[in-house]
C-alpha cells in the first residue's frame, strides 16, 4: 500500500496498514449522538499557588469551574464551526488521534465544519501557515505515531506582536476556536491566548489537550498526559533487551539516560517494568540534598558489591533531568540561566568555549565556577547550549550518562589502587528519548487521545475557553472513562523563567509519598545486589486485552491497584 506525501509515494508497512483499521474506544458518553451531550458545571477553582498574581494576570478567565459531560438533550443549533489545531512541543504518541477525534466530533456536529492545522507549532498560527485537514488527510494518520501531519514547534507566544498576529490569523480564517495540543509550556500558551482573545472580544475560544511523554502534566483531573504510556513501554522493551544482553555477556555496566526533562516519571515506570540494579529518582536526590559525589558513591557501592559475587555487569537508569536536581549542579545551571538571559547579547557575541569559560570566571559564584571547571569539557560545553524558547536548559543534550560513567570509572580506579575494589568495570552509555516519542500509539494512547479530541470538541461546542480537556477513570475500561475539562489557570503558579517571574503550569513531579515511588523503594536494595531483571517485550497492538490494553504500572498504582 502506498500514499502520496509531499510529491512522492510512501510505501507503508503491514502494521501501519493494520493500524488504520483500529477503531479507538471511546467513553460511553461520546458513543451516541452529539446532540445527547450536556455539560455539568462544578464549583469555582483556584490556582495551585500565587492565587493573587495569577488572578490579576487572567482577569477574564480565572477561577472558572471544572466541567463534566453528561447525558441530556442539547437544544443548541448545530452551526458550523471553524476550528484551528496546533501540535506543540515534543512529539508524543497519539497526537494524530487527538486530531482525528476532534475532526470526527466536528463533522458529526455539522458536516460543513472545518478544521485547519497550523504548520510547525505555534509559529504556524503567528505566521498564518496552515492546511485544511480533510477526511483524506486525517485518514492517512489515524492511529499512527509522530506529529508529521502538520509538524510541531516550541515557539512561545509572548510578545504583543505575536498575540496580534495570532488574532489576525484567527480572524482571517473566521475561527470559532483553537485547540493547542501540548505540555505544560504549550498549555500555558493556550491560557494566555484564551485570556487575550477574551480581552479583545473576538469570541475565539482556546482549548488545551494534555500531551507529554514526560508524564508531568498531571492532576486530579488529568490522570495522565498522553504519550507517556507508549513512550515508556517502548523504552522498557529496549531496557529489558539491554538487561538480558548484560545478563548473557556478564561484562558491561549499562548507563541508560531516559527522557523526562524535569520529572522522573519515565525512569520510575521503566524501573518498575524492568527492575534494573539502580534507578535514580531526581526528586529524591533533591529531597535528600545528595551531591554529585554521593550519587557516584551509590553507583560504586553497587558495582563493588556485585563484583564480590563475580557479577561485573548491571543496568543503571538515569532520568535526563537528574543534573538539575543535584543541589550544586542545579545552582550552577540557574546561575548560568540568569547570566545567559541577562547578558544575552554579550554571551552570544563570544565565539569560543575557551573565551566563554574565561568570561564566566567573572560572572559565576566561586562554588559554581569550581564545579563548572571540574566537568569534562564536553559536559561543560553542553551546559552552555541554547535554552529552549521557554528558558529551559536542554537536558536531552547533556550527556549525564557519560558524566556518571566518567566519575564512576575515576572513583573505582582510586579504589583499586587503595585495594578496595578488585572487579572489572566496563561501561556503555545509552540515551533513550527520541526512539519512543513517535512510536505507533499503544491501544491505551490511541483510545485516550481519540477521547481527548472528542472532549476538546465538546468543550468548544459548549462555548468554553481557557479549558484543558480531561478524561478520567483511566484504569477502568474505556467505556467507563469520564470526560470533561478544567480551567487551565487551575494548574498554574508563578515561576522564574528567562530571568523573569512568569505564570506557568506547575510541573507534577514524582511524589515521594506516592504509591509508584514506594513500590520501587521497597525493591531497590535487593535490585542493587541481585540480578532480578524483568523483560517486558514490545508494545502489543493486537491480541488479548490483558496484554494489549494494560495501562502503565504508575497509573495502576496511583489508582490503588497492584
Ligand atoms: P514536551 O514537554 O514538549 O512534551 O517535550 C518533552 C521532551 O520530550 C523531553 O522529554 C525532552 O527533554 C525534550 O522534549 C526534548 O526536546 P527537543 O525535542 O526540543 O529536543
How many structural domains comprise the chain?
A: 2
Q: Pick the atom of ligand 1 nearest to 92's CA.
A: 4
Question: How far does the centroid of ligand 1 lie from the alpha carbon of residue 479, in Å?
Answer: 31
140 shares a domain with 53: yes
Same domain, 167 and 316: no
Which region among 51-55, 77-81, 138-142, 554-558 has the lowest average model confidence (pLDDT)? 77-81
Nearest alpha carbon, ligand 1 atom 15: 396
- Tell whether 42 is covered by a domain: yes
Atom of ligand 1 nearest to the CA of 89: 3
- What predicted TM-score, i.e. pTM, was given to this entire model? 0.95
pLDDT greater than 60 at residue 348: yes
Atom of ligand 1 nearest to the CA of 388: 19
For residues 449 and 532, membership in a common domain is answered with: no
167 and 180 housed in the same domain: yes
> Annotated catalytic residue: which of 184, 214, 229, 445?
214
CATH of the domain at 106: 3.40.50.450
Q: Whose CA is nearest to atom 4 of ligand 1?
A: 212
Q: pLDDT-based confidence at 497, cuts 50/70/90?
A: confident
pLDDT one-digit tens code per residue, 520-529 = 999 999 999 9
pLDDT of residue 390: 67
Residues 164 and 270 in one domain: no
260 and 329 assigned to the same domain: yes
The answer on 251 and 143 residing in a single domain is: no
Q: Is 445 an active-site residue?
A: no
CA dihedral 487, 455, 147, 170 (to 10 degrees): -70
CA nearest neighbour of 212 among 92, 297, 69: 92
Is ligand 1 within 6 A of the CB of residue 210?
no
Using the predicted structure, report yes or no on whether residue 57 has a pLDDT greater than 80: yes
Residue 212, ligand 1, Cβ within 6 A: yes
pLDDT above 70 as % of the chain: 98
CATH number for the domain that contains residue 364: 3.40.50.460
- Whether residues 95 and 236 share a domain: the answer is no
Residues 95-139 pLDDT 10s: 999 999 999 999 999 999 999 999 999 999 999 999 999 999 999
Set of cell numbers at residue 257: 539516560
CB 69 within 8 A of CB 61: no
Ligand 1 neighbour 93 (Cβ under 6 A): no
Note whether 496 and 519 are same-domain residues. Answer: no
161: containing domain: 27-227+441-505
Task: Please tell me the predicted confidence (pLDDT) of residue 11.
Answer: 84
261 lines ligand 1 (CB under 6 A): yes
Q: Please report which confidence band the pLDDT of residue 76 belongs to, taking 50, 70 and 90 as the band edges.
A: confident
Mean pLDDT, residues 459-470 taken together: 97
In a domain, 6, yes or no: no
Last residue of a domain, one of 461, 487, 505: 505
Instruction: Assess if residue 11 is contained within a domain.
Output: no
12 within domain boundaries: no
Mean pLDDT over the full length of the chain? 95
Could you tell me if residue 562 is inside a domain? no
The pLDDT tens digits of the residues spanning 164-191 come to: 999 999 999 999 999 999 999 999 999 9
Q: Which of 505, 529, 546 is the last residue of a domain?
A: 505
223 and 243 housed in the same domain: no
Q: Are residues 426 and 541 in the same domain?
A: yes
- Which residues, 6 or more positions from 147, have their beta carbon under 8 angstroms from its beta carbon? 87, 91, 95, 96, 438
- Shortest-distance Cα residue to atom 19 of ligand 1: 90
Handedness of CA 15, 16, 20, 25 (dihedral sign): positive
Does the C-beta of 262 come closer than 6 Å to ligand 1?
no
Would you say the CB of residue 87 lies under 6 angstroms from ligand 1?
no
Amino acid at each position: 500500500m502506498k500514499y502520496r506525501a509531499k510529491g512522492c509515494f510512501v510505501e507503508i508497512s503491514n502494521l501501519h496498514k493494520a493500524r488504520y483499521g483500529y477503531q479507538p474506544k471511546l467513553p460511553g458518553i461520546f458513543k451516541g449522538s452529539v446532540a445527547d451531550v450536556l455539560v455539568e458545571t462544578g464549583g469555582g477553582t483556584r490556582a495551585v499557588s500565587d492565587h493573587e498574581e495569577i488572578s490579576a494576570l487572567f482577569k477574564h478567565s480565572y477561577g472558572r469551574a471544572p466541567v463534566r459531560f453528561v447525558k441530556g438533550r442539547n437544544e443548541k443549533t448545530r452551526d458550523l464551526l471553524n476550528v484551528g489545531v496546533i501540535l506543540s512541543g515534543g512529539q508524543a504518541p497519539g497526537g494524530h488521534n487527538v486530531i482525528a477525534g476532534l475532526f470526527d466530533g466536528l463533522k458529526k456536529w455539522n458536516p460543513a465544519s472545518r478544521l485547519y492545522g497550523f504548520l510547525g507549532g505555534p509559529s504556524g498560527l503567528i505566521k498564518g501557515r496552515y492546511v485544511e485537514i480533510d477526511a483524506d488527510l486525517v485518514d492517512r494518520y489515524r492511529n499512527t505515531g509522530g506529529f508529521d501531519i502538520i509538524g510541531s514547534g516550541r515557539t512561545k507566544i509572548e510578545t504583543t506582536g505575536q498575540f496580534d498576529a495570532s488574532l489576525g490569523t484567527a480572524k482571517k480564517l473566521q475561527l470559532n476556536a483553537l485547540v493547542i495540543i501540548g505540555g505544560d509550556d504549550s498549555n500555558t500558551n493556550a491560557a494566555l491566548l484564551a485570556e487575550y482573545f477574551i480581552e479583545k472580544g473576538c469570541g475565539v475560544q482556546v482549548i488545551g489537550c494534555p500531551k507529554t511523554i514526560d508524564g508531568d502534566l498531571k492532576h486530579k483531573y488529568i490522570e495522565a498526559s498522553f504519550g507517556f504510556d507508549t513512550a515508556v513501554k517502548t523504552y522498557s522493551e529496549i531496557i529489558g533487551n539491554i538487561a538480558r544482553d548484560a545478563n548473557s555477556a556478564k561484562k558491561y555496566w549499562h548507563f541508560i539516560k531516559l527522557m523526562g526533562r524535569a520529572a522522573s516519571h519515565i525512569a520510575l515506570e521503566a524501573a518498575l517494568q524492568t527492575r534494573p540494579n539502580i534507578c535514580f529518582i531526581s526528586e529524591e536526590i533533591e529531597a535528600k540534598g545528595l551531591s554529585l559525589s554521593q550519587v557516584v558513591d551509590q553507583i560504586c557501592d553497587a558495582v563493588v558489591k556485585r563484583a564480590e559475587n563475580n557479577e561485573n555487569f548491571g543496568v543503571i537508569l538515569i532520568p535526563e533531568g537528574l543534573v538539575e536536581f543535584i543541589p550544586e549542579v542545579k545552582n550552577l545551571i540557574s546561575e548560568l540561566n540568569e547570566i545567559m538571559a541577562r547578558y544575552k547579547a554579550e554571551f552570544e557575541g563570544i565565539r569560543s568555549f575557551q573565551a566563554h569559560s574565561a568570561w564566566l570566571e567573572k560572572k559565576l559564584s566561586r562554588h559554581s565556577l569550581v564545579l563548572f571547571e571540574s566537568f569534562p569539557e564536553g559536559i561543560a560545553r553542553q551546559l552552555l547550549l541554547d535554552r529552549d524558547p521557554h528558558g529551559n536548559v536542554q537536558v536531552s543534550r547533556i550527556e549525564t550518562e557519560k558524566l556518571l560513567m566518567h566519575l564512576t570509572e575515576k572513583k573505582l580506579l582510586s579504589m583499586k589502587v587503595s585495594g578496595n575494589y578488585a572487579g572489572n568495570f566496563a561501561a556503555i552509555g545509552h540515551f533513550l528519548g527520541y526512539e519512543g516519542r513517535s512510536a505507533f500509539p499503544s491501544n491505551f494512547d490511541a483510545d485516550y487521545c481519540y477521547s481527548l479530541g472528542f472532549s476538546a470538541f465538546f468543550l468548544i461546542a459548549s462555548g468554553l475557553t481557557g479549558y484543558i480537556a480531561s478524561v478520567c477513570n483511566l484504569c477502568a475500561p474505556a467505556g467507563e472513562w469520564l470526560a470533561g475539562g478544567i480551567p487551565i489557570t487551575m494548574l498554574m503558579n508563578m515561576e522564574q523563567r528567562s530571568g523573569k517571574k512568569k505564570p506557568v503550569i506547575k510541573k507534577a513531579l514524582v511524589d515521594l509519598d506516592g504509591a509508584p515511588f514506594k513500590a520501587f523503594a521497597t525493591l531497590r536494595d535487593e535490585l542493587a545486589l541481585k540480578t532480578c531483571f524483568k523483560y517486558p517485550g514490545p508494545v502489543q497492538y493486537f491480541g488479548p486485552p490483558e496484554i494489549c490494553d494494560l495501562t502503565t504500572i504508575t497509573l495502576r498504582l496511583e489508582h490503588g491497584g497492584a
